[in-house]
A and B are shown apart, each in its own frame.
Chain A
Amino acid sequence: MKDYVKEKETQRKRMKRDTIILGITLIITIALLSIFPDRQETVITTSWDFFIEMILILPAVMVLMDLFSVFVPKEMVVKHLGKAAGIKAVFLGILMGSLPTGPLYVAFPMASALLKKGAKISCIIAFLSAWACIKIPQEMVELQFLGPKFMAARLVLTIVLVVIMGILIERLIEWSDKKQILGGEEDAGI
């Protein structure tokens, strides 16, 4: 409960800061436009076009994000990923990571809980990377602004490389843990 109040407080502060920055940006823009009056039209129409493109999808994206975060609770994600095994765990990690939403730092405590539960490291890495990079609402904004080809190419490449990275990091950590244990035994004189 205390966390919730604190979260609300920081959110209010952040919004206040953003509004101030917006004001400063507006003042600078007006100043720049009065220095370069011949550029006024280009700047205004460009901003307007991007604004329209954004406002057409932003409410839908927000609704999707919060529907996912309410209907796919964190505990459920942790429960499912905690007991997954093998290469399936990696893909489940990607799938689960692409559903819920919020900034990446929200996912760190979840990943930490998964680590304690003994989930596979490849799965945790896949989960974190998917959370960061291939969330469904985020992909939709990419589709809107950068087109289907760009979005699909980046999505496929990211999934493939994230799977490889997950397995690689798991091997590296297992290898270094093993070395540490062996080293420790040698030190103990065994």
Chain B
Amino acid sequence: MNTTAIFINVFAFGCLIFAIIKDQTKTKRALTVALKSFFHILPTVLIIIILIGLLLGLVPQSQISEVVGEEAGFRGVFIVALLGAFLHIPSLISFPLAASLLKSGASVTPVAVFITTLTMIGVVTLPLEIKELGKKMALLRNGISFVIAIVIGITMGVIL
């Protein structure tokens, strides 16, 4: 078990103790919901983990880095950004996927861009966003987020 995993578990445990002291019934309710959401997300987690295995085991590194590596250039970054904007997968699962891409020859910029557009932009949920917040605000938020994601990715590529 690495230090990060220990830290996360200790933090969660601390919050749990604090919650029990504050309100036992609420804590019980939270734990029941947590158990359910754990089993709800499990199939998706397993799918992604299998895909990661296939990706790293079957696809040659040179091919991965051609699409999302150093030589991919701005076009690669742009494609990855669009992909992140359109895909609708839980953000929790995007991190192991990103890690596997980094391991197999992707560079920092496209990976950071992918995570950021995936979480911040939702083309699938855009109609709902327009309904709740109005066309102007929803389109501005998604559009500017797209630019921001690319800025974040490029900056990270420079500093990391």
Contacting residue for B43 out of A19, A64, A157, A162, CB 8 A: A19
Kindly state whether residue A32 has any CB partner on chain B within 8 Å: yes
A138 touches B92 (CB 8 A): yes
Kindly state whether residue B137 has any CB partner on chain A within 8 Å: yes
B9 touches A47 (CB 8 A): no
A70 touches B148 (CB 8 A): no
A54 touches B140 (CB 8 A): no
**How many A residues, CB 8 Å from partner?**
77
A-B contact count (CB 8 A): 223
The residues of B that contact A92 with a CB separation of less than 8 Å are none
B95 to chain A, nearest CB (A): 4
Kindly state whether residue A76 has any CB partner on chain B within 8 Å: no
**Contact A132 to B120, CB < 8 A, known contacts A46-B53, A108-B129:** yes
The residues of B that contact A56 with a CB separation of less than 8 Å are 1, 5, 9
A39 touches B122 (CB 8 A): no
Kindly state whether residue A85 has any CB partner on chain B within 8 Å: no
A144 touches B95 (CB 8 A): yes
**Residue interface mask A115-147, B partner, CB < 8 A = 1:** 100000100110011001100011011111110
Kindly state whether residue A77 has any CB partner on chain B within 8 Å: no
Residue of B nearest to A44 (CB): B53
The residues of B that contact A29 with a CB separation of less than 8 Å are 50, 53-54
A161 touches B148 (CB 8 A): yes
Kindly state whether residue A105 has any CB partner on chain B within 8 Å: yes
Residues of chain B in range 31-59 having any CB-CB distance to chain A below 8 Å: 31, 33-35, 37-41, 43-47, 49-54, 56-58
B5 touches A57 (CB 8 A): yes
Kindly state whether residue A189 has any CB partner on chain B within 8 Å: no
A47 touches B49 (CB 8 A): yes
Residue of B nearest to A42 (CB): B57
Kindly state whether residue A4 has any CB partner on chain B within 8 Å: no
Kindly state whether residue A182 has any CB partner on chain B within 8 Å: no
Residues of chain B in range 1-21 having any CB-CB distance to chain A below 8 Å: 1-2, 4-5, 7-9, 11-13, 15-16, 19
Kindly state whether residue A34 has any CB partner on chain B within 8 Å: no
Residue of A nearest to B88 (CB): A103
Complex Cα spacing A70 to B102, Å: 35
The residues of B that contact A153 with a CB separation of less than 8 Å are 155-156, 159-160
Kindly state whether residue B141 has any CB partner on chain A within 8 Å: yes
Contacting residue for B116 out of A19, A121, A124, A154, CB 8 A: A154
Residues of B within 8 A of A (CB): 1-2, 4-5, 7-9, 11-13, 15-16, 19, 22-23, 26-27, 29-31, 33-35, 37-41, 43-47, 49-54, 56-58, 90-92, 95-96, 98-100, 102, 108, 112, 115-116, 119-120, 122, 125, 128-129, 132-134, 136-137, 140-141, 144-145, 148, 151-152, 155-156, 159-160
**When A and B form their complex, which 9 residue pairs have the shortest distance between CB atoms, in order from nearest?**
A47-B53, A43-B57, A60-B12, A18-B43, A66-B34, A42-B57, A112-B132, A145-B99, A70-B30
- Ordered by A's residue number, 9 sampled pairs between the chains whose C-beta atoms are within 8 Å are A14-B40, A22-B43, A29-B53, A43-B58, A61-B12, A104-B119, A105-B128, A125-B141, A145-B96
